[in-house]
Amino acid sequence: MTDSSNATVSVHGLTKRYGTSTVLDHVSLAVAPFDIRALLGGNGAGKSTLIKILSGVVRADSGWVEVGGEPTVIATPRDASAAGIATLHQELAIVPGLSVAENVLLGRPTPHRLGRVRWGMVNARAKELFALLGQDIDVRQDAARLSPVAKTMTAIARALSLDARLLILDEPTASLTDQETSQLFTAVRNLAASGVGVLYVSHRLDEIVSLCGTYSVLRNGQLVAEGAVAETSPDALITAMAGRSFDALFPPRASLPAGEPRLVARGLHGKVVRDANLDLATGEIVGIAGLAGSGRSELLRLVSGAQRRHRGSVTVDGRPLQRGSIPEAQAAGVALVPQERRSDGLVPDSIARNVNLTRLRALSWGGVAVARRRSGAHARENADRLDVVRQSLRQQVLTLSGGNQQKILLAKFLALDPSVLLLDEPTRGVDVGTKAEIYSLLRSLAEAGTAVCVVSSELSELIGLCDRIVVLQDGTKVADLAADGLTEEALLNACYGRIPVVAEPRS
């Protein structure tokens, strides 16, 4: 149990029930000043409920919260703000049309004189807050023009303006690039160094190891592990979260050799990719590895028609794809599940409409009106196939957990019944349990005859899931390796071009 005597914020015996379901069961933990504590757990572990209690969105059935060692009632978000607790959710509350400075100082009295806003003071205060984070952002510009990481920085600066003692970050890197993530980490470290406690929620263990000093793991509503990050390992954290070992997350590899090639790409050229070959065969899962900027995602876009290729050819089951467009590729049986599920994969609508998007013509009467009974049955069948946890098919998809949103995205493209399935970071931002479900699904698809190709920045995932791994460096294919027996060190060396092993393309 964490010592709460010097904690910024501590919780004691928090319990929350919904009907007969206990979502938090006597949970106690503490976040100290200067500490960045990871809050880990799968879907249904209780993380979101704990955050909502600390944010004043819901009230616990029993237990209490202490701020600075004093029992504190947090019944509303206003109470949380007054106590110095600021929460940054995945969907940032940034107001377009207002300047960055105005967004930073939302909720604070505006300096004015004789009824006129003193914009110089507003802008100067916002700049001071950004300086504490090590950021140089034009505070006069419209906040709508900000990059994703700059919006996150703006939300953090707003928390500072409210004199936050505890900052809760909920999956803050979900839409950030590697470079933007590094920039965010620098700001969070600066914030912690100033004495603010940070509670950091993420499914990406590499982030936890890089950023956090301590951790707490919830499973089935209970605190099951906590300690110093430096004294544990990613495998131990996964075991604590999932209740099983890391190796047990992956289904057995195919027992039979790969069949005939379903997709053959030769001499592909794009903005980064140069003269790349790719073969995807029936029954195998092929991984694509490489450092950031290596062309991993672009290779999938070129193959799927999402990006026009400058040169090269793609054939599916012996038939060439001439136009290089998404409709042509999908008609040939090729489906790409994009990396950014919110911006590129899902629409802000119901579960049913998202699942049915790729099959509207088949689910309509004469291509005009959607057949309600048929479309409802189709959505239910595909959502059930992936065990999507939901209230109803009418539920808004963006209200689902990250793992269930990812399942809806998969269901949407699996409804096409593809013979070639391309997936770009299919487990990013999902919990360990959902990862295991996705791994099992992909293996079952491969065994049923689908050619599966996965891009992932997690080397351990590629090694555990795939039969073969293609490595790109600066847009060029530098290695084609069997995954069985491969180590992360060897794969990382290949990503840096230190293992020039390239398998001969299939004839």
Q: What is the pLDDT of residues 92-125, one digit of tens each?
A: 778 888 899 988 888 667 777 767 778 888 899 8
Q: Residue 284 and residue 306: Cα distance in Å, rounded? A: 23
The pLDDT assigned to 3 comes to 58
Q: What is the pLDDT of residue 1?
A: 47
Please tell me whether residue 463 adopts helix, strand or coil conformation: helix
Query: Sign (positive/negative) of CA torsion 261, 263, 267, 271?
Result: negative
In percent, the amount of the chain with pLDDT more than 90 equals 53
Residue from 398, 393, 357, 361 nearest 376 by CA: 393
Write out the DSSP string of 120-160.
HHHHHHHHHHHHHTT----TTSBGGG--HHHHHHHHHHHHH
How does residue 481 score in pLDDT terms, banded at 50, 70 and 90?
very high
Higher pLDDT: 148 or 415? It is: 415
Q: Which residues contact 388 (CB under 8 A, 6 or more apart)?
A: 351, 400, 404, 407, 408, 411
The Cα 135–Cα 128 span in angstroms is 10
What's the rounded Cα separation, in Å, for the pair 446 and 442?
Answer: 6
Residue 212 phi, psi (nearest 5): -90, 150
At residue 29, φ and ψ (nearest 5 deg) are: -160, 165
CA proximity to 175, closest of 364, 402, 331 = 402
pLDDT score for 502: 43
The model's pLDDT over 406-429, given as tens digits with 9 standing for 90+, comes to 999 999 999 999 999 999 999 987
Confidence label for 505 from pLDDT (cuts 50, 70 and 90): very low
The packing angle between helices 178-193 and 148-161, to 10°, is 10
Q: What is the pTM of this model?
A: 0.72
Is residue 303 pLDDT above 90, yes or no?
yes
Does the pLDDT at position 507 exceed 60? Answer: no
